[in-house]
Amino acid sequence: MEISELKRKIIEAKEKTGTVILAHTYQEPDIIDIADITGDSFFLSKKAAEIKAKRVVMCGVRFMAESVKILSPETETILPVPSATCPMAEQILPERVRKFKEENPEAQVVAYINTTAALKAECDVCVTSSSAIKIVDKIDAPSILFIPDQHLGSFVKEKLPHKNIILWDGYCPVHAKLTKEDVLECKKAHPDAVFAVHPESPAEVVALADMVGATSEIINYAKAQKGKVIIGTERGVVDYLAINEENGDRFIQLAPEKLCCEDMKKISLEDVYKSIIGEAGEKIELPEALRKKALVSINRMLELG
Ligand code: 13P
Ligand code: SF4
């Protein structure tokens, strides 16, 4: 089937079934095109809390679909490709967090939103990359365990030296591959460009950046620049800027061979269509007690962030 015909069928099917499509900016441009709401993790979480739809198809990875279900339990929430998961979301076991809390009853545990619902249920508050510094700064505790991303965690720790932040050793396998050499090589090829990077990147890469921020912050920063911008995050962001901004060729993808999240790219238009008509995808179900516990930490994030 032609792509335009498939898109037409998706739009028709979503209207007929009362389905709302949410998509993270890392999704392929064709998916962004047919989505009702697009944005980064924090924006999508905020929208999920407000949604009144009968059904949501979440084009992203599993923890994003779980967040929708946690915030809108009445909404039927579908993840089009069940194997689309963020590898970082499971890099610490819930039992390990429980043990830490038993051993450190005064401590608070901060979970990056890129975690499973089971992990969120064990934590005190969630953060996204755009809200982490603001939220951690507001936590009054003798120690704070930050899970699972060591790179985002050390970025927050550096910005908040007055906080006692304990890091876990998790990482995003996509952003963590970046090296100082990747940046220097790209800067050499584009000496007039500024450099924006996602805080999931290693400290040696972050140290070379003119701007460090989440997906939406990188997009806003890049739009506000007059000249070239090297983008140090998943290539969906450059695709988005190239399509939506004039002079789209001024956005330079850093290390294109590295910055592609395979899990984020698993969902096709065909999967979206089949999910809307009930022929594909996984309906997200969470035990109610776990959902309620996870909701406490997400709600705290939405209040503090
Ligand atoms: P954002 O919070 O920037 O959307 O990050 C999501 C993500 O998975 C980054 O790798
Ligand atoms: Fe997870 Fe990294 Fe992919 Fe984001 S880019 S979904 S953190 S693996």
Nearest residue CA, atom 1 of ligand 2?
86
Q: Are 48 and 69 in contact (CB under 8 A)?
A: no
Residue 245 alpha carbon to ligand 1 centre in Å: 21
Atom of ligand 1 nearest to the CA of 217: 3
Q: Which two tokens stand for residue 257?
A: 């061979």
Q: Which two tokens stand for residue 200?
A: 């999931």
Positions of the chain with pLDDT lower than 50, given as ranges: none
Rounded Cα–Cα distance for residues 1 and 8 (Å): 11
**DSSP class per residue in 41-81:** HHHHHHHHHH---SEEEEES-HHHHHHHHHH-TTSEEEESS
Residue 269 alpha carbon to ligand 2 centre in Å: 20
Partnered with residue 19 across adjacent β-strands are 55
Q: What is the pLDDT of residue 46?
A: 85
Pocket test for ligand 2, best of 261, 262, 267 (most atoms within 8 A of CB): 261
Cα three-residue angle 69-74-79, rounded to 5 degrees: 40
Q: What is the pLDDT of residue 180?
A: 98
Residue 214 alpha carbon to ligand 1 centre in Å: 6
| C-alpha dihedral (46, 48, 51, 53), degrees to nearest 10 | 160
Q: Are 56 and 75 in contact (CB under 8 A)?
A: yes
Nearest residue CA, atom 5 of ligand 2?
261
**Across all residues in the chain, what is the average pLDDT?**
96
Distant-in-sequence, close-in-space partners of 209: CB < 8 Å, separation ≥ 6: 195, 196, 197, 232
Q: What is the pLDDT of residue 38?
A: 97
Atom of ligand 2 nearest to the CA of 234: 5
Rounded Cα–Cα distance for residues 86 and 41 (Å): 12
Rounded Cα–Cα distance for residues 127 and 123 (Å): 11
Partnered with residue 59 across adjacent β-strands are 23
DSSP label of 295: H
Rounded Cα–Cα distance for residues 124 and 208 (Å): 33
Rounded Cα–Cα distance for residues 30 and 27 (Å): 8
Nearest residue CA, atom 8 of ligand 1?
114
pLDDT digits (tens, 9 = 90+) for 140-195: 999 999 999 999 999 999 999 999 999 999 999 999 999 999 999 999 999 999 99
pTM of the entire predicted model: 0.95
Nearest residue CA, atom 6 of ligand 2?
86
Q: What is the pLDDT of residue 48?
A: 86
Partnered with residue 39 across adjacent β-strands are 24
Rounded Cα–Cα distance for residues 167 and 144 (Å): 9
Residue 282 alpha carbon to ligand 1 centre in Å: 22
Residue 41 alpha carbon to ligand 1 centre in Å: 6
Hey, what long-range contacts does 246-250 have (CB within 8 A, 24 or more apart)? 250/225
Closest CA to 232 of 202, 206, 204, 197: 197
